[in-house]
Structure 1
Amino acid sequence: MTDTAPSLASDAPLLREQIGTTLRLTMNRARSRNALSEEMLDALTEAFKEAGEDKSVHVIVLAADGDVFCAGHHLKEMTLHRADEDGGRAYFADIMARCSAMMMGIVKCPKPVIAEVQGMATAAGCQLVATCDLAIAADQAEFCTPGVNIGLFCSTPMVAVSRNLQRKQMMEMLLTGEIIDAITAKGYGLVNRVVPKQYLRTVIDKYASEIASKSPLTLKIGKEAFYNQLDMPLQEAYDYCSQVMTENMLARDAEEGINAFIQKRQPEWTGE
């Protein structure tokens, strides 16, 4: 596939750039702090679905324009619906469902998703970071779940973030709403690495290139199995993963990879 570069003048909420087998998605609403508005939710949902089905894409990078990675839900947009006949109930329920579906789209996407966090990620923005398979943060990035400060507990962000952090660390973030820095976020397990901002793209590209060099079938099998086994009892997880490895062993890419290892050569993946 021919590499495509995004137009810097584009007014689209989400810019797309494919370099080799890595698809780079950039949230393009710096003025609204890349909030998860209706248009952003729809754009992200569509992009992850399309990328999941595109055989030319092996890895997805989620980045953002501006100083803020993502400020969470678009509160101004949501508040307008308090004037609805039901006080906004139906609209709020729909937005929460759409946001949850978008997050699950990342988890269910067969391609690994890497968050490139250049700035602050708050509330559902923090949830977005936690939902991605990997997260690399600039040293000046910050994270928080501040809903408690405005009377709106970060309940849905809690779902994803609490699956990254220990219980007391999560409760501290939820109950205080305080901001944590990138180093603390790494210590908590929210991000994989913290790097100087000027090297963020370089490190992300290295990660993406390394992962993209693997068998796309193996990445799909592994990501699905990882999330499926997380909440299983230990014996059930072993039984399930044993079945997964048996089926994986019968795949053409596994045969090729093992033979290449034995023969001390580079494997040639077919995705089968």
Structure 2
Amino acid sequence: MNSLQATHFSLVFPARNLPRVFELDRGNRFASRVKPPKVSSCLVSDAQQKVEASLEPASRESKEVMEMERNVFVGTYARAPVVIKSGRGCKLYDVDGKEYLDMTAGIAVNSLGHGDQDWLNAVVEQANTLTHVSNVYYSIPQVTLGKRLVESSFADRVFFTNSGAEANEAAIKFARKFQRFSHPDKKLPATEFIAFTNSFHGRTMGALALTSKEQYRLPFEPVMPAVTFIEYGNSEEAKKAIQPGKMAAVFVEPIQGEGGIYSATKDFLQALRTACDEAGALLVFDEVGSLNFCSHKQLDFFSF
């Protein structure tokens, strides 16, 4: 979890190629025989960067879709050269009918797979009942879900958002408001933040300022000031930087997920917890998804 780059590995392979992609060695461990293509997720000048892929050349229909994408989309992502048309369970099918094993799951959000019948029934039932009424009115399903989340977690309150970046933006605002609320007589409450090397917290301006990868930040600077980046996993350096009256919050990914899976140690996270408690700073765990959990007891904000 020390060095996440602005790339992730595409794990979509033709299902028929799996015997060639993986083989069991004598130690009964899976050994990769094909290097997964790296796909950049940063803003790029050429939306269709050349991808080192083991996939077959795109068909005419696929090329037409890719060309259309280049003409109408901002060049934010370099995509793998596959045009997905449908899915069932853990399998995907492109416009040519080729079958793939989906090992990415929409970047870890399609936990039920594609076309799950119970999920489909719930979506159809809700769509037939009520579509969207915003937060101007009360909604029974929204309140019911919030209650279940509170009962199933450490949190006293939940805050629904549309994306991880939006959740982090909310956490930034929560942190600064908390510092002002906690120190009403202080002329300059704590407003600074700590984030870590190789982090990625989102593309909006506040979340972008907490993202250490320069290729994300440089095109849009100046971003939100007063963010200090510390080596991921370095407990001693973090404890020195988390000072009372200075740091509003510390943002950390317990598992950094871009370009690989890097997990923080329990000791590192516990050291951050202790240092934040002593300094009166909030500790923000940036997880996958788009929910903020707020605990009045622990003063944590989890963005899922």
TM-score in terms of structure 2 length: 0.24
The structure with the larger Rg is: 2
Higher relative contact order (CA 8 A, sep 6+): 2
Greater fraction helix: 1
TM-score in terms of structure 1 length: 0.26
Greater fraction strand: 2
